[in-house]
Amino acid sequence: MYNILICDDEKDIVSAIEIYLKTAGYSVYKAYNGMEAVDMVNSNDIQLVLMDVMMPQMDGITAMAKIRESSNVPVIMLTAKSEDTDKVLGLEVGADDYVTKPFNPVELLARVKSQLRRYMQLGGGETPKDKLVIGGIELDDKSKQVTLDGEVMPLTPTEYDILKLLMQNVGKVFSTKEIYRAVWKEDPMGAEGSVAVHIRHLREKIEINPSDPRYIKVIWGRGYKMEVQ
């Protein structure tokens, strides 16, 4: 049974999500501000976090950054705003996905299942023993670990999946829609903009100069590709 933390200052929303998750067979932890959420993640075995953006004491973006200091647990941001600002900011500090309120319970559960599937795949199971090596980047798909010049890179599950896709297809150009379908396992439906945010965040971790990348190249008007170094 997977443990999911719901964090929202609106108790009615927390209660509603709790019902959906428990009906689907998940164990639920609850928090009502960012500080409580950070403490919960640090003191419990949490496999996924549903985090509201606007909260008292500590907002979701700040809490997200705090969680990322010590954990790569998948985080789905909940935002009541229709603008892209909070969504993009959340992705930039390490969120894996977002859902805009009011949300569809079926969509929310689908995103939860998708993130948990990728996260648990990173933790074990039958995987190929081959390593992918390009320049100073080494991806070990057995241990689900990525190193850059011998130093372990703390990638999120989404960043790992994008990097693996590109490293497995060196020189091939992928559009943002193709990357989204391959990694998220669903049609983007206008959400492919999140791919660019994740790739920018990935570049900040694996590139010496993210503004002039050696490995992940953008092909204007077409998409992204991995180059051999």
The predicted-structure confidence for 42-62, as pLDDT tens digits, reads as follows 999 899 999 999 898 899 999
Q: What CATH number should be reported for the domain holding residue 156?
A: 1.10.10.10
Please say which residue of 68, 89, 123 terminates a domain.
123
* Class of residue 20 by CB neighbours under 10 A (exposed 0-12, middle 13-18, buried 19+): middle
Backbone angles phi and psi of 126, in degrees to 5: -80, 115
State whether 34 and 109 are in the same domain: yes
Comparing 19-23, 30-34, 135-139, the range with the smallest average pLDDT is: 135-139
How many domains does the chain divide into?
2
Higher pLDDT, 34 or 136: 34
State whether 63 and 97 are in the same domain: yes
pTM: 0.60
State whether 152 and 107 are in the same domain: no
State whether 118 and 135 are in the same domain: no
Half-sphere exposure of 154 (CA within 13 A, CB side): 10
Higher pLDDT, 81 or 219: 219
Please say which residue of 94, 123, 152 terminates a domain.
123
Higher pLDDT, 94 or 62: 62
CA–CA distance, 18 with 1 (Å, rounded to integer)? 14
CA–CA distance, 151 with 55 (Å, rounded to integer)? 36
State whether 108 and 155 are in the same domain: no
Strands, E assignment, the chain: 3-7, 27-31, 48-52, 75-79, 97-100, 131-134, 137-140, 145-148, 151-152, 216-219, 223-226
For residue 63, is pLDDT > 70?
Answer: yes
State whether 174 and 70 are in the same domain: no
What are 93's two structure tokens? Answer: 């500090």
H or E segment at 124? none
What are 72's two structure tokens? Answer: 């790569």
For residue 92, is pLDDT > 90?
Answer: no
State whether 94 and 118 are in the same domain: yes
The rounded mean pLDDT for the chain is 87
CA–CA distance, 73 with 85 (Å, rounded to integer)? 23
What is the reported pLDDT for 128?
43
State whether 117 and 164 are in the same domain: no
- Cβ atoms of 187 and 199 closer than 8 Å: no
* Residue 25, CA distances (Å) to 2, 19, 22 in order: 8, 10, 5
State whether 20 and 98 are in the same domain: yes
Q: Give the residue numbers spanning the domain of 155.
A: 131-226
State whether 28 and 88 are in the same domain: yes
Task: Report the 10 Å Cβ neighbour count for 174.
Answer: 22
* DSSP-based three-state secondary structure for 81: coil
Please say which residue of 123, 144, 170 terminates a domain.
123
Q: Which residue has the tokens 């900040």?
A: 204
What is the reported pLDDT for 69?
85
Average pLDDT score over residue span 72-101:
80
For residue 4, is pLDDT > 90?
Answer: yes
Find the distance separating the first CA and the last CA of the chain, reported in whole Å.
Answer: 43
Average pLDDT score over residue span 79-107:
79
pLDDT in tens, 141-158: 888 889 887 788 999 999
State whether 166 and 208 are in the same domain: yes
pLDDT in tens, 175-227: 999 999 999 988 877 767 889 999 999 999 999 888 888 899 999 889 999 98
State whether 17 and 116 are in the same domain: yes
Q: What CATH number should be reported for the domain holding residue 108?
A: 3.40.50.2300
Higher pLDDT, 5 or 102: 5
pLDDT category, 126, cuts 50, 70, 90? very low
